Amino acid sequence: MVDEGIKEAFFALKRAEGIPEELIESLYLNNYNSTNEVQISEYIRIQTWSYKHYNHWNSKTELFSVIMQNSYISQSQELNVNNMRERLAYDFYFRGLIPSVKILFSSSELAIRGKYFEAMILLRSSLEGCIKIALDAQNTIVNKTFNEFEEPREGVFSQTLGVKPQKNLDNLGLGKLCREVENKQLSGHLTNIYERFNLYELNDYVHSKLIAQDKIGWQNLIFDRKFNEKSWIEFSIHFQNVLELILIFTHNIVREHTWINLDELELDDFKIIELFPKYAEELVSDGLIENCIDCKKLNPVKLKERRGRCKVCHDELTEK
């Protein structure tokens, strides 16, 4: 029997799309009494969209996009000839992220339609790509191993390739890539990110032959695809972890540039504290977070010394 809340959500969505009221009922009956793949996907999408925690997940996705576009990417819009190579490397990092971020959001589209196993596979691939471009960019900027540039007669620089890729990264698994991230301080003060962000679980979807059966279930995976609350929660947690890691990598790459003004990033610290607390910790040392990450207390003393927390919250943190 169809949940009435799902039916109401379907009707609300179709009204918003401008479908005439008299057609919505027949659309609903045609869609949800069918075994057609497209119609099943639509039904699962409505169920996911109606799920009580979906808005919180979507808020994190939207905040991630705003931070990346309005804060970090916008910092490179004004040309600084004296730092041409650094600027090009910085820009290339974001261009290099594009394929992995597209895969990231493709994974969410699959999960929203109930293809949880496939979504996890794409999510893991996206993370690996993000780590590699971050390591390449950081290595290029710190060691100044830029690829060569040509200067045409007009005096305008042309870029052959700003960031120099490291060939050895392709031979590293996800666990070793995470250790490389920590060694290069791309994770800032965070250590053991492979365990802390449960990336070993995400990695299992690629390497474990039993993961589909254990986590998703063969019946749901192959024969009877439907909305699965447990699988959606698991995906959304891993998805949010990847978003937060990308933000952490990006901020630590930004720190390498003297021409960037961190005060002009215009980050919404209240939203960041609520949705990305680990990323918030990375912003504390730059004075970009002014309130306690845990209890939201305004302007506590010794914020930097206490990892972005007031004394009470910091004491609780260290006791765990």
pLDDT over 70 (residue 320)? no
- Alpha carbon 11 to chain centroid, angstroms: 31
Calculate the alpha carbon distances from 91 to 84, 86, 280 in Å. Answer: 10, 9, 23
- Phi and psi dihedrals of 208, rounded to 5? -95, 125
pLDDT value of residue 1:
36
| Spatial separation of the C-alpha atoms in residues 282 and 256, rounded to whole Å | 14
Query: pLDDT tens-digit profile of 121-170?
Result: 899 999 999 999 999 888 887 777 666 555 555 555 454 545 666 777 87
What lies within 8 Å, CB to CB, of 140 at 6+ separation is 89, 146, 162, 163, 164
pLDDT over 70 (residue 210)? no
Give the predicted TM-score (pTM) of the model.
0.79
Nearest to 255 by CA among 130, 133, 138: 138
Please give the structure tokens belonging to residue 240: 């949010």
| Spatial separation of the C-alpha atoms in residues 44 and 10, rounded to whole Å | 11
Helices (H), the chain: 4-16, 21-32, 37-50, 54-66, 84-112, 116-143, 174-183, 193-196, 199-207, 211, 218, 229-254, 269-275, 277-284, 311-319
The percentage of residues in the chain with a pLDDT greater than 90, rounded to a whole number, is 31
pLDDT value of residue 273:
92
Q: What's the pLDDT band for 42 if we cut at 50, 70, 90?
A: confident
pLDDT value of residue 165:
67
Determine whether 26 is exposed, middle or buried from the number of CB atoms within 10 Å of its CB (0-12, 13-18, 19+): exposed
Query: pLDDT tens-digit profile of 179-201?
Result: 999 998 999 888 899 999 999 88
Q: Tell me how many degrees the CA angle 35-41-43 measures, rounded to the nearest 5.
A: 85
| Spatial separation of the C-alpha atoms in residues 22 and 160, rounded to whole Å | 59
pLDDT value of residue 44:
84
| Spatial separation of the C-alpha atoms in residues 26 and 10, rounded to whole Å | 12
Are 67 and 282 spatial neighbours (Cβ–Cβ below 8 Å)? Answer: no
